[in-house]
Structure 1
Amino acid sequence: MEIKQFVFNPFGVNCYILSNSKGEAILIDPSVSNTREQAALTDYIKSENLKVVRVLNTHLHLDHVLGNAFAERTFGIKAEAHKDDTFLLDAQKEQSQMFGLPCNDLAPALGNYLSDGDIVEIAEIRLQVIHVAGHSPGGLAFFCENPGKVNGQDNVPPLLFPGDIIFAGSRGRSDLYGGDEFALVSGIKSKLLTLPAETVVFPGHGPSTTIGNEKMWY
């Protein structure tokens, strides 16, 4: 597996591209917000001869779906996310106004719903879907238990892509519409902190961390 990380849009969202040796790719949170960012994303995909076959949203807050429409137009793939967040797609203009941003490219409807326990799989890459509400009702984390060789390194520990559920030294805010602090903390404790301590966490914003490092805060 190869992992490429971009940091996009004014909110600094981490966008991840996971690809296999066959040239297939999974795009997590396509959050491009301008032509420069769009070019960076497509240039990488072209330079690596990749074909995007799945587009996943960890959740549907505005900053994480800014590139959904572009991804669908460019790669012909509709995004997938949890159904409990779909109401946020109807509130994109309101979210834009709240943050003082233009809303010129609304994210379209999802192509598929993902639920807790689902598996997203292509050759060499298997992601388990973990639903943790609280930051948003439909927050998802994607867990890769056996990544194998990653970016040329062997014996890589498990990987987790939790969106805004958990960050290095903190967790997602729960004061936005649909947030729930109790559900967020409970879900983190019961579903994420029970993963192997060596699991490398690639959050929706900021630097990577490990599950072992994050346990100290709970």
Structure 2
Amino acid sequence: MFLACFPAGPLAANCYVVAGGADTDPDAKPAGSGSLRPCLVVDPGMDAAALVDEVIREHGLRPVAVLVTHGHADHSADAATVADAHDAGCWLAEPDRYQLTDPLAGLSPELRPAFAGFFPPGVSRPLPSRMLDLAPGPVRLAGLDLTLLPAPGHTEGSTLYALEVGEPDVPRVVFTGDVVFAGSVGRTDLPGGDQATMEATLRDVVLALSDDTVLLPGHGPQTTVGHERGTNPFLRGL
């Protein structure tokens, strides 16, 4: 499996590019054949498009889908740019899709002035040309097996993407967006956030994962469920 991670934008949100191995991906072709290996792009936020292009050029990849964990602009601002540049479909849970066209709507009134220079008020942004219609549960994209796990609380449409790796030491990785981080969890005081719902998600979705699950968060370093179960103060008592 190929996995690249890089922070992008003023809030250093993690964007991920992931592809299956050539030996397991039925769409992959041998090196030198002129074919590009299909890949997924997760959370192309502010200023991420150019960095995505660098990664895919260097590694001979072609995005076939863009997956967004939630609607906040630091994770979704370049979703349409990346998806449309590669004729890829884009998926974001329906409750958060309004933030693709109005990024300021996902911010509190106090935060909106700080982002008005990036997203002028009253100017609607286009949706990606192809919005994917995916349901919660297992899906197969770019030769990869994923499960979409609804995880509301940070936003109404927050979704975890669980990728089955199948390796002994790392059977599964989960792209968590802003639901859980190394040592912390996402805030619930922005539009669409709810503390009680977040606690239910952390208890019933995140902590239900096996301890060896690797968590790839929307900000900061990777961690594991087991490490967070034992050390994250926001998960105690759930």
Quickly name the TM-score band, shorter chain normalised.
0.7 to 0.9
The residue number in structure 2 matching 1:156 is 170
| 1:158 shift after superposition | 1.5
SS at match of 2:91: strand
Structure 2: stretches of 5+ with no match in the other structure: 23-27, 29-36
The residue number in structure 2 matching 1:15 is 15
Mapped pair 1:80 → 2:91: yes
Question: Cα RMSD over matched residues?
Answer: 2.1
**Highest CA radius of gyration, 1 or 2?**
2
Structure 1 residues 43 and 209: alpha-carbon distance in aligned structure 2, compared to 1, 3 A threshold: same
Q: Percent identity?
A: 28
Mapped pair 1:214 → 2:228: yes
Structure 1 residues 206 and 24: alpha-carbon distance in aligned structure 2, compared to 1, 3 A threshold: same
Mapped pair 1:108 → 2:127: yes
**More displaced stretch, 67-76 vs 9-18:** 67-76
**More displaced stretch, 198-207 vs 41-50:** 41-50
1:204 counterpart (209, 218, 221): 218
Structure 1 residues 165 and 107: alpha-carbon distance in aligned structure 2, compared to 1, 3 A threshold: farther
CA distance in 2, matches of 1:29, 1:205: 11
The residue number in structure 2 matching 1:177 is 191
| 1:107 shift after superposition | 5.1
Alignment of 1:20-169 (within 5 A): 20=20, 21=22, 22=28, 23-33=37-47, 37-94=48-105, 95=107, 97-100=112-115, 101-103=117-119, 106=125, 108-109=127-128, 111-123=131-143, 125-145=144-164, 147-148=165-166, 155-169=169-183
1:115–1:131 CA contact under 8 A, matched in 2: no
CA distance in 1, matches of 2:136, 2:74: 23
CA distance in 1, matches of 2:59, 2:166: 20
CA distance in 1, matches of 2:46, 2:102: 19
2:10–2:46 CA contact under 8 A, matched in 1: no
TM (norm. structure 1) is 0.87
Could you give the per-residue CA deviations for residues 81-100 of structure 1, whole angstroms, max 9, x where no partner exists? 11111232343245483433
| 1:191 shift after superposition | 1.2
Structure 1 residues 135 and 107: alpha-carbon distance in aligned structure 2, compared to 1, 3 A threshold: farther
CA distance in 2, matches of 1:85, 1:213: 30
**More displaced stretch, 127-136 vs 70-79:** 70-79
CA distance in 1, matches of 2:113, 2:150: 27
SS at match of 2:199: helix
Deviation above 4 Å: which 4+ runs of structure 1?
93-96
Aligned residue-pair number: 209
| 1:73 shift after superposition | 3.2
1:4–1:17 CA contact under 8 A, matched in 2: yes
**More displaced stretch, 107-116 vs 203-212:** 107-116
SS at match of 1:178: coil
